[in-house]
Every structure is written in structure tokens, then in C-alpha cells.
């Protein structure tokens, strides 16, 4: 799947294309910096999950936080996707994009009363509950509305996802979920509460997983829990095994959805619908950030390519020291290559997109930062009063503007100077 997604970016002669469109044309038509995504890569990645789990009842709930653009959500809704949301804002995005509320699961440790109220009103599939207090809050709001809330408890299976500490969520010391050792007590409490129907068990152990081992362990522990819960009379209908499959940024070889399905197949409890919450692996390699070199700058130790994108548009390198491939969009054989730190205009030392990259570039060169479809635009900010970049969705030989570049006025919208 990862390989397929990479295929949508391909070189023809000197030019880097996305599907049938030269990226230099996207930059010319929409300006830089600019996010660009491939419809075909997103659809292929989603279908790879759907096919991998085709032999059993399943629902792929795309994790909206990876990329919440309405056009992206709409593509997935039309394939029949479910959605994993973590806020009331994401709920409204999904509804706006045509998503089916009955295919939404709601995750997150801090659901507000208003968010719970709205989710019950539209009739979501399940709340992934992360504490007893949340359970009690959901029960009382559901009772007030005369509705029944379907819940699954997010358990923390205490497995090491072997990923970056900031994106590892399945260990006991973590704020996420309920310790698997306490899960049964929480389920007992849940069935005592009015207007609560316990329907599932949920986990999500982390992101950018590059082996199936930790997921196999987690699923094994969840299956054992499901068996105990069923013996105690709980009607567990689904297990949600979360998201987290990694993508190839550099030289990783993460498992495909098919390999994941194969690895967990025999461990999943029988007669249980399987839910998955992939985010990064659906959209990550389907997108790039286009940016232009403003200045080339040298000192005794380093060469810098100062580009027109920054940590405000793409935070991952600054936040996680994440490595993303950076390639010239048009190869110019007349330029000699040098080793550059690719940095943005923002006044922070952490403002870099890549360090020590060998590139044959000059002022004015157009660069593509690859693997930028997930946790790219969604983490962008207006820091340094920079407007958010546009988003473009490529479909064959057409490029659709799916979010406009923010106008300058957006920077002070809603602000007031006391008179």
C-alpha cells in the first residue's frame, strides 16, 4: 500500500508529477506554500484496509485528526467509511462532508458535556470512554435526552508500541485509556448506569508502528478481556483495535493492512465486529507540501535553503524531529548539489523542514516535502502571523482547490480593539 501511494508521485523527465499533473503546474496555479493530495492514493489506501478485513464484519473508521479537509472526508464517506473523531469540531466536519453519524466513534480523554450532547443527538455508533467520570457524564446527558449511549471502554493494554514517545499511547504511564487490569470493574460500573449500553472494547496503542508485534500483543490481551466480559454477561459486539500503522517516510518498511489483518486474524474474538481507526496510513503518503526557495545562505559551517514554508505550515520536523523526504520538483542538471538545512522564515531555531539534505537547488527552486498528507495541514498555525496555505486535491489530470489560502483578514478576524 505504501508502495502504491508512492507511485502516485512519479518523475517523468525532469518533472515530479502527482497522478497526471506536474507539481510545478500546481505551484503556478495555486502559489506556494501549498498542500497537495492525491485522490487515488487516498482511495487505494482505504480500500487496502477494506479488502484486508473483507472476510469478516468490519468498519474502517478513518481518524479525522490526520487530515480533516472536507473533500478528503467526503471521498472517504462515499467509499462507505466510518470516522474516528476526537472533538465536537471534527464531528461537525464529518457531518458537513456527508459522513454517516451511525459510523462515527468518538475518542479522546476530555469530551465536554456539549460535545457528548451533540454526539448523542446525531446518534453516533459509540463513545470510546476513557474514564469512569466520563461514563457517568455520558449516562446523565443520555438520560436527559432520553437516548441510550453505546459505549466501549478504551483499555490500555500496557504494550510498548516501540514508536516515538510523543506518539506512544498504550503504556500504563500514559494519560490515555483505562488500565486493562481495572477494565472489568469499569464495565460493571457501566451496566449499573442508566442509558448506557456497553457494546465494545477499544484500544489504540500508538502511531507510526512499524511492526505488527505490539498490535498482536494488544489484540491478544483485548480478546482475553472480551472473553471474560462475555462470561460475566456483557454483550460485547465489537472490538476496536485503533489505528497506528506507520508509513514509509525514509526507509521504514511498515506492515500493510493485509499483513496486519493476517497477524491479528487468529487472535480476534469470534463473532465480533472489528473496527479500525487508521489515519496516517490512509493519507500520509498521499500528500506533499510544495514550497519555494526564497534565499540560499552560507556560513562557515552550513548551507541554508530558506524556503517559504515553515513550522507554522508543517510542524512535524520541529515537534518530533520527524524526517520527511525533500525533493526538487524540477531537476535542473546545470546545478551542482550541496548539503543544505532547509529552514523556514519563522523566528525559532526549531523552524526547519529538513537538515543536512543533499540538493541541487538555487533561489527560486520549487521543492516538494513528501509524506505530508497526515498531521500536516491539521497541525498548521498562524504563528508569526502567517496565513494558512491552500489545499489542492488532484484527481487524474484535474487539480481542485479544496481549501483557499487564508486571506490576510483571517489573521485578525474576531479580534477587537477596546474603544
Residues that bind ligand PLP (CB under 6 A): 63, 65-66, 84, 86, 107, 204, 207, 242-244, 277-281
Alpha-carbon separation of residue 267 from 170, 206, 217, 229, 413 (angstroms) = 18, 19, 9, 16, 52
Q: Are 68 and 95 in contact (CB under 8 A)?
A: no
Q: What share of the chain is helix, strand, coil (3-state, %, to 5)?
A: 35, 25, 40
189: how many CB neighbours lie within 10 A of its CB?
15
CB of 410 to ligand PLP, least distance (A): 27
CB of 325 to ligand PLP, least distance (A): 19
- Nearest alpha-carbon partner for 37 in 389, 406, 410: 389
Kindly tell me which of 83 and 340 has the beta carbon lying closer to ligand PLP: 83
CB of 164 to ligand PLP, least distance (A): 11
CB of 37 to ligand PLP, least distance (A): 15
Q: Are 76 and 42 in contact (CB under 8 A)?
A: yes
Residue 251 burial by Cβ neighbours in a 10 Å radius (0-12, 13-18, 19+) = exposed
Alpha-carbon distance of 241 to 222, in angstroms, equals 9
CB of 65 to ligand PLP, least distance (A): 5
What is the three-class DSSP state of 153?
strand
- Nearest alpha-carbon partner for 120 in 66, 195, 186: 195
Alpha-carbon distance of 261 to 146, in angstroms, equals 38
Alpha-carbon distance of 18 to 30, in angstroms, equals 15
347 is catalytic: yes
CB of 280 to ligand PLP, least distance (A): 3
Q: Which helix (H) or strand (E) holds 367?
A: strand 366-369
CB of 19 to ligand PLP, least distance (A): 23
Among candidate residues 34, 203, 272, 347, the one labeled active-site is: 347
What is the three-class DSSP state of 285?
helix
DSSP string, 33-90: SEEEEEHHHHHHHHHHHHHHTTTS-EEEEEEGGG---HHHHHHHHHHT-EEEESSHHH
State the helix-helix crossing angle for 132-145 and 183-192, rounded to 10 degrees. 20
Active-site positions read 347
Amino acid at each position: 500500500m505504501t508502495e502504491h501511494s508512492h507511485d502516485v508521485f512519479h518523475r517523468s523527465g525532469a518533472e515530479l508529477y502527482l497522478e497526471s499533473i506536474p507539481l510545478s503546474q500546481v505551484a503556478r496555479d495555486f502559489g506556494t506554500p501549498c498542500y497537495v493530495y492525491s485522490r487515488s492514493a487516498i482511495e487505494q489506501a482505504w480500500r487496502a484496509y477494506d479488502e484486508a478485513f473483507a472476510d469478516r464484519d468490519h468498519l474502517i473508521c478513518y481518524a479525522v485528526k490526520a487530515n480533516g479537509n472536507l473533500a478528503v472526508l467526503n471521498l472517504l464517506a462515499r467509499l462507505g467509511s466510518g470516522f474516528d473523531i476526537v472533538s465536537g469540531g471534527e464531528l461537525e466536519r464529518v457531518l458537513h462532508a456527508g459522513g454517516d453519524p451511525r459510523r462515527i466513534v468518538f475518542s479522546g480523554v476530555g469530551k465536554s458535556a456539549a460535545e457528548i450532547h451533540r454526539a448523542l443527538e446525531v446518534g453516533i455508533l459509540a463513545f470510546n470512554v476513557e474514564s469512569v467520570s466520563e461514563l457517568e457524564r455520558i449516562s446523565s446527558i443520555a438520560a436527559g435526552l432520553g437516548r441510550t449511549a453505546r459505549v466501549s471502554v478504551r483499555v490500555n493494554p500496557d504494550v510498548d508500541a516501540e514508536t516515538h514517545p510523543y506518539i506512544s499511547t498504550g503504556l500504563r504511564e500514559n494519560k490515555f485509556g483505562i488500565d486493562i487490569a481495572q477494565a472489568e470493574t469499569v464495565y460493571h460500573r457501566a451496566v449499573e448506569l442508566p442509558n448506557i449500553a456497553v457494546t465494545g472494547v477499544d484500544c489504540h496503542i500508538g502511531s507510526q508502528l512499524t511492526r505488527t508485534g505490539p498490535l498482536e500483543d494488544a489484540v491478544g490481551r483485548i480478546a482475553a478481556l472480551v472473553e471474560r466480559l462475555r462470561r460475566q454477561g456483557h454483550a460485547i459486539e465489537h472490538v476496536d483495535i485503533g489505528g497506528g500503522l506507520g508509513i514509509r517516510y525514509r526507509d521504514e518498511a511498515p506492515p500493510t493492512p493485509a499483513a496486519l489483518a493476517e497477524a491479528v486474524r487468529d487472535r480476534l474474538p469470534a463473532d465480533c465486529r472489528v473496527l479500525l481507526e487508521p489515519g496516517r496510513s490512509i493519507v500520509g503518503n498521499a500528500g506533499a507540501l510544495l514550497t519555494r526557495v526564497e534565499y540560499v545562505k552560507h556560513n562557515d559551517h552550513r548551507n541554508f535553503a530558506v524556503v517559504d514554508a515553515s513550522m507554522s505550515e508543517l510542524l512535524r520536523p520541529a515537534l518530533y524531529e520527524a524526517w520527511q523526504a525533500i525533493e526538487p520538483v524540477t531537476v535542473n542538471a546545470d546545478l551542482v548539489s550541496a548539503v543544505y538545512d532547509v529552514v523556514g522564515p519563522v523566528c525559532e531555531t526549531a523552524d526547519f523542514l529538513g537538515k543536512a539534505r543533499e540538493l541541487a537547488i538555487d533561489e527560486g527552486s520549487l521543492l516538494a516535502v513528501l509524506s505530508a498528507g497526515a498531521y500536516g495541514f491539521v497541525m498548521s498555525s498562524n504563528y508569526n502571523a502567517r496565513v494558512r496555505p491552500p489545499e489542492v486535491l488532484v484527481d487524474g489530470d484535474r487539480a481542485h482547490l479544496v481549501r483557499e489560502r487564508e486571506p490576510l483578514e483571517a489573521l485578525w478576524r474576531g479580534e477587537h480593539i477596546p474603544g
